[in-house]
Structure 1
Amino acid sequence: MKLQDILTPDCTICAVPGASKKRILEYLSSLAANKLQNQDTYSLLESLVKRERMGSTGIGNGIAIPHGRVAGATKPVAVVITTEQAINFDAIDHRHVDIFIALFVPEDECQNHLVTLQNIAKIFRDKQFCKQVRKCQSDQALFQLIQQAS
């Protein structure tokens, strides 16, 4: 599945204030909780924290892709945010992170989960694209930029 197919304008936010990994994960979870029936922020946060315990989802170049499997979810949901300031996210390259792409998928969709993660990584591997993401001044501009990504 493509990121563009599961991302909505209300889950695409620019310049989020946040000074810690925990606060960012909470924010991502709260946005997704509004899109997933029978899910609350806490259960979604737990799915992200569980995955982070296995190793940071900070993939380098100021980008993180926190993701979690969600019991009882019927559809995948993506959340994309940029932060006002880059934060320490224990990324593999030890750089702070300012672009977050969170993915919440139904527990039983393992293959779809992997394909979607590959699609996200492919889009955000492009350094020019990431520069454009960081320059976005509005949520709508960020959403449109991602929708146009190939």
Structure 2
Amino acid sequence: MKVFGFAGYSNAGKTTLIEALIARFVARGLRVSLIKHAHHGFDIDRPGKDSFRHREAGAAEVMLVCDKRWAIMHELRDEPEPDLEQQLARLAPCDLVLIEGYKSNAVPKIEVHRPANGKPFIWPENPSIVAVASDVAVAGPLPWLDLNDRAAIAAFVLNATGLS
């Protein structure tokens, strides 16, 4: 599996970009998976539902299965958060895994940046960032990709991963 990441501050456009790229890669016949790192607790379940009640009762894992999809919810309880390598090992084989987040991990990644958000660049402190995608041209030592040119960004990712 090839792995490529995207990093940036909130509201920079990471999710929208990744959504468009997944559609492009799948249209090319690639099998694509995604790992998104959330900095805050999240819950894909709702109080009162059977699966929620089973987790609350103490189940370590709860698997939901239907004719369209399946999902496993794993409760960490007092275990440490798994690192990216452990999460990658849990995925089914695919051609490309896109990563959203995991800024400090050594996976090559594009920084998605919008100057209007007033946030600093991540790349000066992060050697795994190999390009910057922004809605405004950015001068610097890294390649600049127009955030609105999805074809160019897709080509960059495919070239960087050897999938072109």
More helix by share: 1
Find the structure with the greater CA-based Rg. Answer: 2
Q: Could you say whether these structures have the same fold, taking a TM-score greater than 0.5 normalized by the shorter chain as the test?
A: no
With the length of structure 2 as denominator, give the TM-score of the two structures: 0.28
